[in-house]
Amino acid sequence: MSRLIVVSNRVALPRQAAAGGLASALQAALREHGGLWFGWSGKLAAETAAEVHRLRDGMVDYATVDLSRADHADFYLGFANGALWPILHYRPDLVDYQRSHLAGYLRVNEIFADRLRQLIAPDDVIWVHDYHLIPLAAMLRKRGVRNRIGFFLHTPLPAAGLLIALPNHRELLETLASYDLIGVHAARDLRALEDYFLHEAGATMRRDGRMRSANGRLFRAAAFPISIDTDGIAEMARAALSNREIGQLRDSLEGRLLIIGVDRLDYSKGLPQRFQAYARLLEREPALHRHITFLQIAPPSRGAVREYRQIRRELERSAGHINGKYAAPDWAPVRYINKSFPHRLLTGYYRSARVGLVTPLRDGMNLVAKEYVACQDPNDPGVLVLSRFAGAAEELTDALLVNPADTEEVADALQRALDMPLAERRQRWNAMMTVLQKHDITAWRVAFLQALGR
């Protein structure tokens, strides 16, 4: 078996809590398969990548580099999260494109390629992750690397007509053809990718399903919906029941039904719209007052990017507004928390909630939706209310699917979820759990690596 090298912008070192989908997924995948994980250490230093730090834990080797403050600002905050993230999440209005940021992005990718080059052995299989590292394979190829290299995009991919709003899009996106395999989450992302290559980047589709890029390179693209360690997470949720903090949450509910949301504080997650829909439900249904509680956990992320500070202020106002309007001395309709919790506590919180409310405006997959389902009590499972625009909606068709922008529709779904009879809850949960047991994180990793090896 050849060694696997996983490359991502940020490496989640052993025993580091990872409040992010990519880190959760890769931690789980590598724990099982073993290999080398290369990327940024998460530390800022005087100079970028002066040395590679090495660490070994179990079956996983870690190789990390520090970034300079300036490189981090241009590469990570500037281009990756100020320009690419919004365009990939269908928000051209939020794109802050600056040439100096693009230059920094390319500079850091070159540095990664230089450092990584020295670690690669001839039989290694290299798996690069996410939008921070799109040009990495092209840069490795320039340095003579002939190994198999795959790429997985964790975000959605919007239609070509939208992607072309990104300045210099072709220069950047065409470099994807240097990978042997490009993976995306959902069928709709794959259609967008093929459409872009065929109609904007001069590629052609061959009879065997591979594409030939304008400069003649053959590559393949396919959908590999990412998943979770379904059984492990279900077990964690069962074990969490004996946890004091979970007991405290349950006691504090005093029989009220809990609605839960867990999201990185990000404008793609549809949080303002979600708060509005909950407020609309309270407005419409006075009979529910005092009988429900909405717990939203939203650990801050990317606070150095302006839009993230704005949305944080907006949500503080909105939560305060809802509580100010509807609360009673002994009841707060919203519990809004800007901090992150250990994963095992989260699983207990999910299990304590009658409704999982997951309403991103756009999301590559959304692992919270899958975790919520896996954590339920099979005898008395809760209901998932899920945005149609999360990749997970292609698989979890037994959730109550909603358009997150339609306040009334989300309020309806909440009400239906709160009223749903046990038999229907069980039937929907069983259907979703069957999907998650078959398509767990191991199935995802195996499917991708098999396709890459072919």
Residue 21 beta carbon to ligand GDG: minimum distance, rounded to whole angstroms: 2
**Chosen residue from 10, 72, 154, 188 binding ligand GDG by CB under 6 A:** 154
Burial class (CB in 10 A: 0-12, 13-18, 19+), 47: exposed
Nearer to ligand GDG, 90 or 341 (CB): 341
Q: Which of 74, 229, 363, 398 is catalytic?
A: 363
- Determine whether 363 is an active site residue: yes
Q: Taking the CB of residue 453, how many other CB atoms lie within 10 A of it?
A: 12
Q: Is 128 in the site for ligand GDG (CB under 6 A)?
A: no
Q: Kindly state whether residue 135 participates in binding ligand GDG, applying the rule CB under 6 A.
A: no
Of 5, 6, 22, 441, which one interacts with ligand GDG (CB under 6 A)? Answer: 22
49's CB contacts (< 8 A; 6+ apart) are 65, 66, 67, 111, 112, 114, 115
Q: Under rule CB under 6 A, how many of the chain's residues touch ligand GDG?
A: 26
State the minimum distance, in angstroms, from the CB of residue 72 to ligand GDG.
Answer: 19
Provide the minimum distance between the beta carbon of 63 and ligand GDG in the complex, in angstroms, as a whole number.
Answer: 22
Edge-to-edge order in the sheet of strand 400-402: 334-337, 292-297, 257-262, 355-358, 383-387, 400-402
Nearer to ligand GDG, 23 or 55 (CB): 23
Strand order in the sheet with 149-152: 53-57, 60-68, 35-45, 4-10, 125-129, 149-152, 181-184, 218-223, 211-212, 204-205
Binding mask 231-270 vs ligand GDG (x if CB under 6 A, - otherwise)?
Answer: -------------------------------x-x------
Judge whether 381 and 425 are in contact, CB under 8 Å: yes
Whether 355 and 417 have beta carbons less than 8 Å apart is answered as yes
Distance CA 158, CA 175 (A): 18
User: In this structure, what token pair is assigned to residue 277?
Assistant: 């829909």
User: Applying CB under 6 A, which part among 49-57, 75-83, 316-324, 335-343 lies near ligand GDG?
Assistant: 335-343
90 near ligand GDG, rule: CB under 6 A: no
d(CA 113, CA 106): 10
Q: Which is nearer to ligand GDG, 38 or 448 (CB)?
A: 448
Q: Which listed range, 110-118, 157-165, 318-326, 337-345, lies at the site for ligand GDG (CB under 6 A)?
A: 337-345
Rule CB under 6 A: choose which of 24, 41, 68, 352 binds ligand GDG. 24
DSSP state of 80: I
User: Which region, judged by CB under 6 A, interacts with ligand GDG, from 20-28, 172-180, 212-220, 288-296?
Assistant: 20-28
Which residues are bridge partners to 357 per DSSP? 385
For the CB of residue 287, give the shortest distance to ligand GDG in the complex, in Å: 32
Does the active-site annotation cover 189?
A: no
By CB under 6 A, the residues from 351 to 380 that bind ligand GDG are 363-368, 371
In the set 72, 132, 154, 439, the catalytic residue is 154
What is the widest separation between alpha-carbon atoms in the chain? Answer: 69
Residue nearest to ligand GDG (CB): 21
User: For 254, left (φ over 0), alpha (ψ -120 to 50), or beta?
Assistant: left
Site for ligand GDG, rule CB under 6 A = 17, 19-22, 24-25, 154-155, 226, 262, 264, 297, 299, 340-343, 346, 363-368, 371
Residues taking part in catalysis: 154, 363
